[in-house]
Amino acid sequence: MERIFLGLTGASGHLYAERLVRALVAAGRGVELCATGAGRKVLRHELGVELPPPPFESRPRALRAWLGDEVAEAVRLYAEDAVEAPASSGTAGVRAVVLCPCSMGTLARVSVGFSSNLVERAADVALKERRCLILVPRETPLSAIHLENQLRLVRMGAVVLPAAPGFYHRPSSVADLVDHVVGKILDTLGIEHDVGARWTGELEPPHEAGIERPAATPSAAPETTKEGVKR
């Protein structure tokens, strides 16, 4: 079974990661999962999922409770310091590495080859083996440091895919927004999927169930008078 490494870091956006795991398993892929310490904290905060601290078994009860038995069966969970994990070596043949969500801290360390944990090492291996590496940052606004680190990674062949969903598919729920980003990650991985709506090339697409036009909202633009701007 083809395996994809998914690193969860301390950035916001763990809903993207959960959707991605489910979509990868639905597409017949195995997932090598590893969360940083900060990643586990934000995962607990955002999704209420408590992954036990390392060292832990590869399929703890918490993983099965979170994802369900069927999905968890295709997922192997590793401790952050598990340098012996397959993804630590280029010979293991992990096909691609996705860091989602990706903190600016992890992104910075990956950009300079500072492999201080399994997540960073897996990304380092993907770069040296010229395999697919996708980083999904959520941070905004971005400092010059953040931008320079991202530019360095893109120049090395990585894909920086910000968690920035579009609105042209007329999302009607948070799930639609999440799917838009996850669909792009799957496209970049070259994995066939039906996650998220695809652009049809029509500016007024036919109404589709679940993709509704948002209700008209009054303009938020400030009113301008001779005296100046008033709200």
Ligand X SMILES: Cc1cc2nc3c(=O)[nH]c(=O)nc-3n(C[C@H](O)[C@H](O)[C@H](O)COP(=O)(O)O)c2cc1C
CB 106 within 8 A of CB 99: yes
Q: Name which of 16 and 66 has its Cβ closer to ligand X.
A: 16
Q: Which two tokens stand for residue 100?
A: 């989602």
Rank residues 60 and 105 by Cβ distance to ligand X and give the closer one.
105
Report, in Å, the least distance between residue 43 CB and ligand X.
10
For ligand X, the closer CB: 45 or 213: 45
- The smaller minimum CB distance to ligand X, of residues 124 and 139, is found at 139
Cβ 91 to ligand X shortest distance, Å: 26
Please, are residues 172 and 188 in contact by the beta-carbon 8 Å criterion? no
Helix axes 37-47, 14-26, angle to 10 degrees: 90
Minimum CB separation from ligand X for residue 220, in Å? 25
Closest distance to ligand X from the beta carbon of 141 (Å)? 11
Q: Which residues bind ligand X (CB under 6 A)?
A: 9-12, 36, 38-39, 42, 45, 103-106, 138-139
Q: How far apart are CA 106 and CA 112, in angstroms?
A: 10
- Residue count of the chain, please give it: 231
Cβ atoms of 179 and 195 within 8 Å: the answer is: yes
Shortest Å distance, C-beta 109 to ligand X: 7
- From the centroid of its chain, how far is CA 91? 25
Q: Which is nearer to ligand X, 71 or 158 (CB)?
A: 158
The residue at minimum Cβ distance from ligand X is: 10
Cβ(7)–Cβ(158) under 8 Å? no
